[in-house]
Structure 1
Amino acid sequence: MTDGTDRPHSPQPDPASGSGGGYGFPPGRIPGGYGYPQPGQSGPLPGANPYQPEPAPGQGSGGQGFGGQGFGPPQAQPPLGAEGFPPAPAAPDAFAAAQPDWQAMADRTEAQQRKRRMLTVGIGALAVVLVAGGAAFFVLNGPDDPADKPVTAASGSPSPSGPAQSTDPKTPEDDSPTVPGEPNLLRDRSGKMGIALGPGASLGELAKRTEVRFKGTADSYAQGAEAAVDVTKSFTVSARAYNVAETGSRMAVSQGDGDSYSFELGFEVVNGKKAWVFRVQTGDKGQAATAQQVVVDNVDTTRTWALLTGTYDAEKKTIALWVDDKPAGQAQVSGIWAGPGPLQLGRARHHGIWSAAWDGPLDHIRVFDQALGKEQITGLKNNKPDKKTRATHQWLI
């Protein structure tokens, strides 16, 4: 901690000791010296702390909370301990205690791919025989409804609507948002890195897509098996976000679990205005003077879907923020600190503790090993990505 100006944080329950595996939680916390940056439009940040005290779980300043049960009345504030933090859980949660068997999941995925290839070959051979015999088959399928109309989700609550999805034929395995046999592990459609849901996060099933839902509480997050981004090189991180919170700091995507994040992308109140922010850390101690950010506060940030995209050009040493396919600005940086720890959804690391809990759903999460330009980001917004630009990881697409 620094000068006592830091906003209250809600500590996350640590995993069981020795859990190890793919999730990469360190055995202990490193005492942090991270000073929160002074809000600004871009560039170096002075020193005051822009982070606001978070509202009670599931409750914004002007609307109802959004969580595993959808939009509903505010939830009760849990009792606070002696230091103002919620008391630690009595026992480690199941997520921290049990880690997925990554090799077994990879083997199952490979076996399913072999089965699909064999099935495709068999269907093709049958079609040739039927055509040769003079048989003609016509399969009539109506087009997909262009509006992604919400249906009753897994939690029993409707969700905000999203864009129309691709009409390419897919097998049930291709459509599955999770790893087969692992209902709480988001499936990577471009790589092999799953993202495990914390106990307070849930999946919402809609007509043509699946979203991951966060309640704005300490246990509502998701964590990757490893770092998804090499921050010493050019990269792009993008997610479609629906923010329910009216106040505080709320990070949709970040990376790192040590003293500080390496980057974070999400919502924040800056100079009294609700804003989207992309921020990176350039120093290994997380000081305010070594944080750089790009902020946009002239767009809707609450209860509306937005595609948030942060880019880093390692050659030009610039970071940029895009909202939908509109550039919000850029800032010059000296580089990005490659802090330890994996990709995070729904939270970020500050002062060696977890904070900035996201409140609302996320989907269409993508990572690229290059800094995308306007045409490529427009393709992401329309869910028609450039075929020549392959994502290194993507979830809930």
Structure 2
Amino acid sequence: GTPLTSTASLDGSGHGFLTPGAPVVTDTAKDFAVGGWVRPARVDGTRTVLSQDAGTARAFTLGLTPVGSGPAWSFSVGGARVTGGLPEAGDWAYVLGQYDAETGTVRLYVNGREVGEETAAVPVAGEGDFQIGRARGAQGYRDRWQGEIGDVRAFDRIVVPGELTALATRTALRVGHWALDSAPDGLAPETGGGAPLKLGAGASVFRLDDDPCDIFDPDCVQDWPLEGDGHLGLDGVT
């Protein structure tokens, strides 16, 4: 999963795109970065997540492209292209490309980690419209995205490592929690109201005595729960 509550789903057709009808990166000769959460439905061919028009071409393109015998994430600025990572259909990834004007370096990040860079990039003026899900070509728009895109962001500066980590972080989603400190009628309840766990014949819940001895007393031989008020014990036989 991702930290997103909603995304745009694009079907790869001529109508499957989003655009503000204006440039977002206002000066492609200066520092900039673009990125977002993506889940491709298909990874064959060249497919565009983000781009910006430059006449009948693109000032930059972020997406995926064939490399060797398989697909790779890709970020292009002018004639410089960097590829890396392994996109898989149906899997979420956070992809971000950035251009460092001072060094002329193009970098690509996947899930917060740099997967490649290319130096001596020469940007082209790109004052055309920003595009989500397609890229401009001599014969019109092409390389259309099929899948989901969310949390698209553009920056007029370099994104620092700490920000990259935060942008690409996926908080774990708890789908089940059984405290295992009680099991009425042989069923350990799920704390969120989900399906309970049924204890087998060789399973039991250990509970602390109602009047335990002092844990600091050297003569105390009380067994204590592993966590909370109780824990599950298995006999390893039945």
Q: What's the TM-score bracket when you normalise by the shorter of the two chains?
A: 0.5 to 0.7
CA shift at 1:273, angstroms?
Answer: 1.1
Distance 1:277 1:301 in 2: 14
Equivalent residue, structure 2, for 1:260: 57
State the AA in 2 paired with 1:294.
V
Deviation per residue, 1:62-99 (Å, 9 max, x gap): xxxxxxxxxxxxxxxxxxxxxxxxxxxxxxxxxxxxxx
Deviation per residue, 1:97-145 (Å, 9 max, x gap): xxxxxxxxxxxxxxxxxxxxxxxxxxxxxxxxxxxxxxxxxxxxxxxxx
- 1:279 aligned counterpart, secondary structure: strand
Distance 1:257 1:280 in 2: 11
TM-score of the two chains, using structure 1 as the length reference: 0.41
State the AA in 2 paired with 1:348.
A
CA shift at 1:323, angstroms?
Answer: 0.1
State the AA in 2 paired with 1:315.
E
Distance 1:272 1:363 in 2: 28
Instruction: Say if 1:310 and 1:319, in contact at 8 Å, map to a contact too.
Output: yes
Equivalent residue, structure 1, for 2:8: 212
Equivalent residue, structure 2, for 1:227: 23
- 2:163 aligned counterpart, secondary structure: helix
**Counterpart selection for 1:313 from 100, 105, 122:** 100
CA shift at 1:217, angstroms?
Answer: 1.1
Equivalent residue, structure 2, for 1:341: 128
Deviation per residue, 1:242-286 (Å, 9 max, x gap): 0011311110100005210000001111122111000111xxxxx
Q: Quick check: which has more Rg, 1 or 2?
A: 2
Instruction: Say if 1:348 and 1:356, in contact at 8 Å, map to a contact too.
Output: yes
1:356 aligns with 2:143: yes
Distance 1:255 1:305 in 2: 23
State the AA in 1 paired with 2:145.
W
> Percent of counterpart pairs with the same letter?
28
Structure (1/2) with the larger helix percentage: 1
Provide the aligned length of Structure 1 versus Structure 2.
170
State the AA in 2 paired with 1:162.
T
**Counterpart selection for 1:280 from 64, 72, 77:** 77
Structure (1/2) with the larger strand percentage: 2
Distance 1:338 1:264 in 2: 13
Instruction: Say if 2:43 and 2:87, in contact at 8 Å, map to a contact too.
Output: no
Distance 1:332 1:222 in 2: 30
Distance 1:383 1:276 in 2: 19
Instruction: Say if 2:106 and 2:121, in contact at 8 Å, map to a contact too.
Output: no
Distance 1:334 1:360 in 2: 30
Instruction: Say if 1:275 and 1:301, in contact at 8 Å, map to a contact too.
Output: no
Distance 1:246 1:323 in 2: 15
Paired residues for 1:130-279 under 5 Å? 161-163=1-3, 209-229=5-25, 230-256=27-53, 258-279=55-76
State the AA in 2 paired with 1:301.
E
Instruction: Say if 1:309 and 1:322, in contact at 8 Å, map to a contact too.
Output: yes
TM-score of the two chains, using structure 2 as the length reference: 0.67
CA shift at 1:374, angstroms?
Answer: 1.9
Equivalent residue, structure 2, for 1:35: none
Equivalent residue, structure 2, for 1:374: 161
1:322 aligns with 2:109: yes
Moved runs in structure 1, 4+ residues, more than 6 A? none
Structure 1 spans left out of the alignment, 5+ residues: 1-160, 166-208, 282-290, 385-397
Instruction: Say if 2:46 and 2:64, in contact at 8 Å, map to a contact too.
Output: yes
Structure 2 spans left out of the alignment, 5+ residues: 172-238
Distance 1:353 1:265 in 2: 18
